[in-house]
Chain A
């Protein structure tokens, strides 16, 4: 590769010197190793099975500069409410990947709960984080997780002591405000849920209209025995931006994790979820809604690894694809030897709204154990013409009828959002989007 096609890798190679700050020795080592990995292995290509559907070439053509901490302070708290919603509870805001205390609000939390910026944790007591922070890179490296390991400066750190319940959602807001120069940020977040704890985590990603930037995020969630975590991710980046993210989840015995992903924004987005059920009776629910339109490409690879017996996984992803958009669901379920009594089910449904819309759905079941239950189903279809006629025959104009049916298809996923202010916020965006397609939509 050379020239424009290589602009981003070349820009990165100039970064190494800049990135060694006041980090502990192990972190410097990790960063060097990760950097080394990227220079040697390069970026994934279409031959890479896990990247089969997402071409990274358009990302590599842009010489992204490393994002700097926001000094302009253009964003107000009200602007954050508009972009990410006001959920009422504790909110950590990161601008260009750096903690912005002025925009954040720290409500009182139960004793022992830590919700703070990762940078501040690393500065004080970073050594205990070594095994955690290095793992996604060491265990499943690809260029973007390696880059995150090499270059992440900040992100959220949430630690919930055993048997502690946090009622209000913890809202992690990542906003890019990069201006004319393309920038890249590498938010790195860590959520540690102690045994028997309960919490709701919301991650919101957005940016400023017209900005070109890359968000390369890694979030890791670890659930100890009996912990229950509900996790929401709303990817509402501006449509000129790029978004690559990994949500890496490990679940202990009888823990319960529920993840909801809503992907609306970005020119190209790949939101990967990897879940490892590593002890008995863990339960995972993965829900996802993706709505590419125009030229958007939204890829949703998921891997659920049943590594222990008696675990349950439920997965439901829905795509609404309009214009020349492309939606991808690549759902891998692995049942390891010995993981008997696994109960897994996976469903993916896609609605194509235009002739040039495209949906790819790939269920991948790799079962190495006996006595397991694995069901999967996938569908790609269009709006039901009979239903459209029924609505029209009652006086509802065709465009409104189409909008109503499209909204109805998507609303199943929106109704699963249990955090009410978040549900309202996301519904508003989905309604706007469908209204932009010419439809009036149910309130």
Chain B
């Protein structure tokens, strides 16, 4: 489903990702763990199509060149990023926003557009998945939402859009244990054999709830180790320091003093 080969990413002359190679098959959940500044979020943003990066290497999504696609093309063909920091958009209603998004995706899939009424019943059903209050629907996108509400809204959007490849960027950050449990239950409910997930996290805690098939450790822009779910436990015990030390590379390239 997702095939990343030797991915290098620079921003403002700094090389954030220094050759990532990663293969994720349909039905699998991969966890990417790493310390702050290791490049985890950059990877997520690059996969979703953020245009501020200088990217080389190859990323195939279902055999297609993902890097050649615009963010909206990626979205309608089934790529979804749950943002670490969901953006507040005052004046744009959550419901309207999501129906517009869903209809863009449905159009791509050759399905009829949903009208407001059909969409509302779908939304009500999927909201239960993340125990979201219906009052959310009448508010502006993420505006005035608490950290936990924003993350739940991301998973709710994922439940509506039914992506084939979901990338969850630190979906656990800022969540208390109850919210974490709700979000994780939502994610688990969406696990499917034709859907792949990449779960990015700093902490092992999330992986108690969303049990991954594979775990990768990202440090200084490289995947330094891969393993099964037990790798996460090992990390929890020993921390990232050991990985960072023996992979330390010059981080600043071409920056004037």
Binding site for B on A (CB under 8 A): 384, 386-387, 389-398, 400-401, 404-405, 407-409, 411-412, 442-443
The answer to whether A408 touches B90 (Cβ under 8 A) is yes
The answer to whether B87 touches A396 (Cβ under 8 A) is no
The answer to whether A392 touches B75 (Cβ under 8 A) is yes
Chain A residues near B49: list those with CB within 8 A.
389, 392-393
Q: Does B100 contact A (CB under 8 A)?
A: yes
Chain A residues near B102: list those with CB within 8 A.
395
Q: Does B101 contact A (CB under 8 A)?
A: yes
Q: Which one of A394, A398, A409 lies within 8 Å of B70 (CB-CB)? A: A398
The answer to whether B104 touches A396 (Cβ under 8 A) is yes
Q: Which one of B75, B81, B92, B104 lies within 8 Å of A442 (CB-CB)? A: B92
Smallest beta-carbon distance B62→chain A, Å = 16
Smallest beta-carbon distance A91→chain B, Å = 31
Q: Which one of A384, A386, A395, A442 lies within 8 Å of B72 (CB-CB)? A: A395
| Cβ contacts A to B, 5 pairs, < 8 Å | A390-B86, A393-B75, A394-B101, A408-B90, A442-B96
Q: Does B48 contact A (CB under 8 A)?
A: yes
A interface: dominant SS: helix
The answer to whether B89 touches A394 (Cβ under 8 A) is no
The answer to whether A397 touches B104 (Cβ under 8 A) is yes
Distance A397 CA – B49 CA, assembled complex (angstroms):
13
Distance A268 CA – B71 CA, assembled complex (angstroms):
39
Chain A residues near B50: list those with CB within 8 A.
389
Q: Does B105 contact A (CB under 8 A)?
A: yes
The answer to whether B92 touches A404 (Cβ under 8 A) is yes
A398-B72 contact in complex given A391-B97, A392-B49, C-beta closer than 8 Å = yes
Which residue on chain A has the smallest CB distance to residue B45? A389
The answer to whether B70 touches A396 (Cβ under 8 A) is no
Distance A409 CA – B97 CA, assembled complex (angstroms):
15
Binding site for A on B (CB under 8 A): 48-51, 70-72, 74-76, 80-81, 83, 86-87, 89-93, 96-98, 100-102, 104-105, 108, 140, 157, 161
Question: Of residues B72, B83, B97, B140, which shows the largest number of chain A Cβ atoms within 10 Å of its Cβ?
Answer: B72
Smallest beta-carbon distance B113→chain A, Å = 13
7 pairs of A and B residues whose beta carbons are closest in the complex:
A408-B91, A395-B104, A395-B75, A394-B101, A392-B71, A390-B87, A395-B76
Which residue on chain A has the smallest CB distance to residue B160? A394
Chain B residues near A391: list those with CB within 8 A.
89, 97, 101
Chain A residues near B76: list those with CB within 8 A.
395
A394-B91 contact in complex given A389-B50, A400-B100, A442-B96, C-beta closer than 8 Å = no
Chain B residues near A442: list those with CB within 8 A.
92-93, 96
The answer to whether A408 touches B92 (Cβ under 8 A) is yes
The answer to whether B91 touches A411 (Cβ under 8 A) is yes
Chain B residues near A397: list those with CB within 8 A.
72, 104
Chain B residues near A390: list those with CB within 8 A.
83, 86-87, 89
Smallest beta-carbon distance A394→chain B, Å = 4
Which residue on chain A has the smallest CB distance to residue B141? A390
Question: Of residues B83, B87, B91, B101, which shows the largest number of chain A Cβ atoms within 10 Å of its Cβ?
Answer: B91
Distance A81 CA – B161 CA, assembled complex (angstroms):
42
Smallest beta-carbon distance A411→chain B, Å = 5
Question: Of residues B87, B104, B161, which shows the largest number of chain A Cβ atoms within 10 Å of its Cβ?
Answer: B87
The answer to whether A394 touches B87 (Cβ under 8 A) is no
The answer to whether A393 touches B93 (Cβ under 8 A) is no
Chain B residues near A400: list those with CB within 8 A.
100
Q: Which one of A384, A395, A407, A409 lies within 8 Å of B161 (CB-CB)? A: A395
Which residue on chain B has the smallest CB distance to residue A397? B72
Smallest beta-carbon distance A406→chain B, Å = 10
Smallest beta-carbon distance A66→chain B, Å = 44
Smallest beta-carbon distance B104→chain A, Å = 4
Which residue on chain A has the smallest CB distance to residue B77? A395
Which residue on chain B has the smallest CB distance to residue A411? B91
Q: Which one of B83, B86, B100, B157 lies within 8 Å of A396 (CB-CB)? A: B100
The answer to whether B72 touches A408 (Cβ under 8 A) is no
The answer to whether A408 touches B75 (Cβ under 8 A) is no
The answer to whether A387 touches B100 (Cβ under 8 A) is no
Which residue on chain A has the smallest CB distance to residue B101? A394
The answer to whether B101 touches A395 (Cβ under 8 A) is yes
Chain A residues near B70: list those with CB within 8 A.
392, 398
Known: A393-B75, A400-B100. 12 other contacts (CB 8 A): A384-B87, A389-B48, A389-B71, A391-B97, A393-B71, A395-B108, A396-B97, A396-B100, A397-B72, A398-B70, A408-B90, A411-B91
Distance A348 CA – B83 CA, assembled complex (angstroms):
31
The answer to whether B89 touches A393 (Cβ under 8 A) is no
Distance A397 CA – B86 CA, assembled complex (angstroms):
18
Distance A352 CA – B161 CA, assembled complex (angstroms):
32
Q: Which one of A395, A396, A409 lies within 8 Å of B91 (CB-CB)? A: A409
The answer to whether A392 touches B72 (Cβ under 8 A) is yes
